[in-house]
Amino acid sequence: MDNARITQCQTEAVRSGAFPGAELLVGRASDGDVLFHHAVGLAQKFPTEEPLSTSTIFDVASVTKAVLTTTLVMQAVAEHRLNLDSRVAAFLPLFVGPQKELVTVWHLLSHASGLPAWRPFFEAHRREPPAAARDAIRAAVAQEPLETRPGTRALYSDLSMILLGWIVETIGGERLDALGEKKIFAPLQLHNTFHAPTDAPLPRPASAFAATENCPWRKQVLRGRVHDDNCYVMGGVSGHAGLFSTTQDLFDFARALLRGQIVPRDIVDLFWTRSGVPGSDRALGWDTKSAQGSQAGSKISPGSVGHTGFTGTSLWIDRTRDVIVVLLTNRVHPRRDNELIKLWRPTIHDVVFSSL
């Protein structure tokens, strides 16, 4: 690989102001060989500057949807405790309303449930204890009217994944963070992948984390506390966000899926197949390379799968080339309105795949 060229691209992205820091790991899926692993820039630039390292822990935001929630659903399907055509209302009695009896687990995974993308539930519940807010927000999600008939349109939805996480807990009898640790992270020895519940002490020193937003309503720079507003109010544990991880752990996780270690490979392949929803490039719980404008760039192979996170994180798996790319940044630090990453993330991926 052209390590110098990749490092230069990372550095130029930081200098452009796309994000304070960026850590990139590129490795072979088959043998675990790490081809490139480098961090540039800052883990925190406000209120004091602190450098990023290759062991920094990031709030991976919506990468949680793929790594945690979808994997637990995969396992439940493999164990015959859940079917893709299972009705959501069969597990969640609060999920009632026009056409909601039609919504299945498959619809939630493919983001074709008809539910809206997002709602600011945190605004009404941010002063409540986490357990009470969690129950209230889940009830509000369950009672949210559908915008379209299930299966007719794909709309990326946090609400769908909040419900999926709830279903997984209903089946598993434990909270998502406990299930993730027991069924995914501990078996794979992913020691730096975890939740940071908001009513508990930080699981690591604050300096171990990349900083995210200087939050206007929490009145602090977030470091080790989840950035997603709804997830934070829910206690830091939800199906749509809340996970913290490192480049190495996410690389090891992706390899484990490819090797069928925690989920049978036929189930993984099923979930990595495009849903077929009109106008959608999404698989089940994962994204695929879109024909144009993919955040994985233009040079990654067709059939690749991955997921991005709002905080500036991404994991992409090129099954054709046998390559895994983990790019973690803190692009929302100190403000969330910086969207330069949309230009730089595909550029970095293009440089990586051009260098192979």
Mean pLDDT of 210-235: 98
Among residues 302, 309, 325, which one has the least CA distance to residue 247?
A: 325
In the Cβ-directed half-sphere of 120, how many Cα atoms lie within 13 Å?
Answer: 2
What is the count of structural domains for the chain? 1
Among residues 70, 68, 123, 102, which one has the least CA distance to residue 237?
A: 68
* Per-residue pLDDT at 112 exceeds 90: yes
Per-residue pLDDT tens over the stretch 115-172: 999 999 999 999 999 999 999 999 999 999 999 999 999 999 999 999 999 999 999 9
CATH code of residue 313: 3.40.710.10
* Per-residue pLDDT at 291 exceeds 90: no
Residue 20 domain-assigned (yes or no): yes
**DSSP for 259-295, written as a single string:** TTSSS-HHHHHHHTS----TT----SSSEE--SSS-T
Residue 344 domain-assigned (yes or no): yes
CA distances to 1, 28, 207, 238, 344 from 65, in Å? 31, 23, 26, 9, 23
Residue 155 domain-assigned (yes or no): no
Residue 117 domain-assigned (yes or no): no
Residue 259 domain-assigned (yes or no): yes
Residue 268 domain-assigned (yes or no): yes
- Predicted pLDDT at 242: 98
Among residues 254, 252, 227, which one has the least CA distance to residue 241?
A: 227
- For the full predicted model, state whether its pTM sits above 0.95: yes
Residue 12 lies in domain: 3-62+205-211+244-355
Residue 307 domain-assigned (yes or no): yes
Residue 9 domain-assigned (yes or no): yes
| Per-residue confidence band for 292, with pLDDT thresholds at 50, 70 and 90 | confident
Per-residue pLDDT tens over the stretch 162-216: 999 999 999 999 999 999 999 999 999 999 999 999 999 999 999 999 999 999 9
